[in-house]
Amino acid sequence: MSSDKKKTREKAKTTGSRIEAPTGSREALRSAAAILEVLAGTASPSQAAQALGISTPRYFVLESRAIAALVVGCEPRPRGYVKTTEKELEALRKQHTKLQSECARYQALARVARRSAGVTLPTKKTKGRARRPVVRALRLARGLKAGVKQQQSKEEVSDGKGKTSKGTGTG
């Protein structure tokens, strides 16, 4: 009976190693088949390029990309949980939402505690009406006009006495 168990295990191992049909677009599958035929030696690069409807230099570019992808695909995969930026971003968003709700909860608890203790928060002090901004150029122009009026009144006063003439500024 032990030999029957070994045969079943061996059969299970061999049937589990089937090659799965690759998935991809029709064009990608045609290109892959042509490249494999060239690498196997059953077709030349120019024949494969002609079958694909591309130039021979373009075929070689396609072949080098396929070999590079094969090498990348043969890299060993890391074991266990792999942290990606998308997963990390999602975790940070969840944490942010959790912290926001926790903050709102603590704020509500603080409000309830203040109300039950009868403590009120100080309110913002307002100075009445808000100051209207004055443009510096307008303020300067008003000051200059006031200065001109003062000079004119001084000149008129000095002219009225007759002692000083206009523009001397004495008086």
Nearest to 54 by CA among 65, 69, 40: 65
How many other C-beta atoms are found inside a 10 Å radius of the C-beta of residue 6? 9
Largest Cα span, the chain? 145
Q: Which has the higher per-residue pLDDT, 31 or 22? A: 31
Return the pLDDT at 13: 47
Beta-carbon contacts of 170 under 8 Å, excluding residues fewer than 6 positions away, are 158, 163, 164
> Region 126-151: what's the mean pLDDT?
77
Percent of the chain topping pLDDT 70: 79
> Region 85-114: what's the mean pLDDT?
95
> Does 125 have pLDDT greater than 90?
no
> Does 94 have pLDDT greater than 80?
yes
Return the pLDDT at 137: 77
Structure token digits, residue 151: 């000079």
Name the pTM for this structure: 0.41
Cβ contact 169:162 at 8 Å? no
